[in-house]
Structure formats: structure tokens, C-alpha cells
Amino acid sequence: MLTQHLPILPIIFPMLMGALLLLPPLGTNLQRQRITALISGVLLVALAIWLLQVSHLEGTQLYFLGDWKPPFGILFVADRVSALLVLLTAVLALGAMLYATGGEDRVGMHFYPLFMFQITGINGAFLTGDLFNLFVFFEVLLIASYSLLIHGGGKHRTQAGMHYVILNLVGSALFLFALGIIYGTLGTLNMADMAVRVHGLEEDQLALTKAGGLLLLLVFSLKAALLPLHFWLPRTYSAASAPVAALFAIMTKVGIYSIYRVHTLAFGPEAGDVASLAQPWLWPFALLTLAIGTIGVLASHSLRVLAANLVIISVGTLLVAAALESTEAMTAALYYLVHSTLISGALFLLADAIGKQRGKPGDRLVRGRQLKQPVLLGSAFFLAALIAVGMPPFSGFVGKLMLLQAADTPATASWIWPAILISGLASIVALSRAGTTLFWRVSGDDPAAVTAPVLQMSGVWLLLLCSPLLVAFGGPVTEFMALAAEQLFDVQQFVDLILVSGAE
């Protein structure tokens, strides 16, 4: 009975826990909130593992809210890709919440409820099967992110929050325009139904459908921070508190996933007159995003800003894979997506832990005081740097190698290989400079500095140790990623599953 409702549980569970954490007796006691939130985080990871196992072994899981059959009603779809991203969100959130117990949760009100509501929106965006509810869950996660971004207050957070809110309000308005155009031409927002109705469009509907599809691409690119819509990310992520910035590492992946899902299903290679609508735009802008991220990491003045620019590099890399439009590239992209999200989250947490022990300079790349825990933080930073730049034998190397191999023609390889290899070299230079400055350019001690609590550092190590695990279980993991990529490109199977078997 519970398995029948499994696809909606990753949405319902954090939403209910967020509501409970607002109410007495939990809402009036921070210690109780911490314990409840951490237990909820562990249960959410277990729930996500269960969902991943069921969707992998038993096939795609569908959930029709209120038993309204497709293409009507609210549909949730848990296939290999969406279940994988739900698990990724759960692990990232658990690491961030563990770190927050060190004191980041006490600087403002309702930290853990907001965290749960953010997870609700993210999971909903990954599991929804229609565009309108994708918009709804975008709004849920954005509203929670507005509050989390300015949690604790401060001039820099307020300024960054204002820009972030205004930009996303514009994006939401454009999203509504795109939905209106697509519904007006196709008469549906169910993704599977859209994949059917894009065939055989009348001439007067074709141009509007293309406009709606490109407007969706614009909105998703804004969420993903694709150049030239990336300028908000470094300032926003570096201004947020460490656990919030770590959770935000999955936010750009929501936009990337939306491009993968919508522009493979409705506007993919088999979409007739609107086939491969996004490819001419993704190619140049993905490579330019890689280039601007490379410049950004070299120009970064703090470890947080450096980590934020590494997120931009990962965005460019993942959208280059989308531009290749092949199962091999998508396999590499899914592997790299998991790797880059976890290491980005770990770097944001590490930047905060290092900054707290350096005194006034914080995580800025200038001379500062000797750290209280140089061995612990130094080893964590060294491991994080090796993972982030893609040094063998860690997951970054495996992901990049798979992507380079997916560029199987001289024309594509001539563009992709230099961009990815140069960005990797720039990351090595930037992180080497950062490590040298933070750990070797020191002067004296800070007697007021405190050591990082064990529970807090366990959040960092949880995210870091996922990389060796991705390599240690590389065979099963890459096999799963290949099956997930094939499932993503098998449009007919998706359509039959939802519109034929779902209507029975």
C-alpha cells in the first residue's frame, strides 16, 4: 500500500515536517528542531534510496493525484533520473543540516522549517510530470530560498537577496507567458501529451510553439545560470550562509534537469518540426558559460566566490552534454551532475569553516591568522580540491573523461576538449593559490577562534566521501546512469507508459 504512494512521499514528507517544526513543542525549542530535522534528513535519504531502488528494478512509478487520469490532473513521475536527483537532494540536504548544527541555525528564525519547504519544492520539480506543476514547485522552492538567503540578516545578504528576488520574479512571469503560449497551441501541459501533440502542428501554431519552447529555454537557463543569465549566482551564493549555499548547489541543477526533461521529451530529436529546438542556442552559450566560469575562478577573491564560479563551470559542462544530444553524453552528464553538486556543497561548507578560524579576513584570499585545526581543515580542503578539479582517481576525473569520450566526432571534440581541459587547468591554478594563501600565508593565532564541532564537520566529510564511493562503485553507478540516459531519450516508452497504461 505504501509503495503505491511512494512517488509523492519525497514531497509530502518534508512538507509535513516543515509544518510540524513550526508548531509547539518543536517550534519553540532549537535543540528539538535540530534533532527532529536530522532524523527527518536521515529518513528522507532512506526514502529516496527506496524510491531509487523501486524505480530501477520495477520500472517508472506513476502517481495520479486524486486518481485523475492523464493528460488531466496532477501527475508525478519517478523514473531513474528523477529518483536519482531526489536522492542527491536528500544527501546534500543532510550534509548541510549537519553543518548547520554548529550555530548557523540560531542566527535567525525558522531555519529548519524553511529548509524542509525548500526540499519540498526541489523534489516536486524533479518528480512532476507536467509543466504547470513544474512552475508551482519552482515557486515553492523560490519562496523558501528567498527567506533562507537573507536568514540571519546583514547588508550583503539583503542586497543579494533583493537582486535574486527581482530576477526570479521576472523569470516567473516569463514562465507563465511560456505556459500560456504552449497551452494555447498544444492544448496541454502534460509533458507526455506535449510530446505527442507537437507532431502535425498547423503552420500558424508552429511559430508560436517554437516561441513558447524557446521562452521555456530562457527561463530554465536563468535558473541554471547559463551565460549571460549567470551574473546573479556568484554574489548570491557567496552571500548566503554556508548550509544554505550548500543546498543552493542543487538549485542550478533544477534548471538543467528541466532542460534535459522538457527539451528531450517535447522538443527533442523526435519532435518533428520543433525537433532539437534548443541545440543551436545551447552550443555557443554552454561553451561561453564554461569560459566565463574559467575566468571567474581565476579572478575569485574568496573561497566562497571561487566555489560559486566552480558551479558556473559545472553548469557549462552539463549543458555542453545536453547540446551533444546523445545517450553517451547524457550518461556522462548524470554522473558529473552528482559529482559536481556534492563537491560544490562541500566547498561552501569548508569555506565557512576555514573562514571562522582565520579571524577578520574570513575566507578571503589574503594573509590571515593560523587555523585552530589546520590538519583537519587542510586535509579536507586538499581532498575537495583534488575532487573538484578532476584529478584521478576521483569522480571529477571519471565524469570529465566520460564526457570527453562522448564527443565522438572531430568537430565536436575540437570545441569540447579544449574548453573542458582549460577550465580544469584554471581550477587547479585557482584552488592551488587558494590553498597556499589560506594555509601557508599566516601570521599569529586568533585566541578567540573556536574549533569546529564534530557533528558540523561530519556534514563536510559526508559530502566529500561520496566522491570515492562514486569511483569505488563505478561499474554499477555508470551502468545505472546509462540506463537512466536511455530512459530519458526513450520518448515513445514514456508516452505509452503515461498516456496508454496510465489511462487504463
| Non-local CB neighbours of 216 within 8 Å, separated by 6+ positions | 131, 175, 178, 182, 258, 262, 263
Tell me which residue of 116, 113, 123 sits closest to 89, measured CA to CA: 123
Which amino acid belongs to residue 485? A
pLDDT reported for residue 445: 66
Collapse the DSSP code of 249 into the 3-class scheme (helix H, G, I; strand E, B; otherwise coil) and give the result: coil
pLDDT reported for residue 432: 92
Tell me which residue of 263, 255, 258 sits closest to 225, measured CA to CA: 255
Average pLDDT for consecutive 10-residue bins of the chain (504 residues)? 82 93 83 91 95 91 83 87 95 94 79 92 92 92 87 75 85 92 88 85 83 90 87 85 91 91 82 78 90 92 92 92 87 93 94 86 83 87 92 89 86 87 92 90 69 87 92 92 91 84 58
pLDDT reported for residue 164: 84
pLDDT reported for residue 1: 60
Tell me which residue of 358, 400, 379 sits closest to 465, measured CA to CA: 379
- 123 by Cβ neighbours in 10 Å (0-12 / 13-18 / 19+) ranks as buried
**Long-range contacts from 219-222, C-beta under 8 angstroms, 24+ separation:** 219/171, 219/174, 219/175, 219/178, 220/255, 220/256, 220/258, 220/259, 220/262, 221/255, 221/259, 221/285, 222/167, 222/168, 222/171, 222/174, 222/255
pLDDT reported for residue 101: 87
Q: Are strands 61-65 and 74-78 parallel, antiparallel or unpaired?
A: antiparallel
Tell me which residue of 116, 57, 64, 118 sits closest to 83, measured CA to CA: 57
What's CA 271's distance to the chain center, in Å?
27
pLDDT reported for residue 447: 61
Collapse the DSSP code of 74 into the 3-class scheme (helix H, G, I; strand E, B; otherwise coil) and give the result: strand
pLDDT reported for residue 501: 62
The Cα 155–Cα 150 span in angstroms is 9
Question: Do the beta carbons of residue 251 and residue 146 sit within 8 Å?
Answer: no
Confidence (pTM): 0.94
Cell output for 262: 522538457
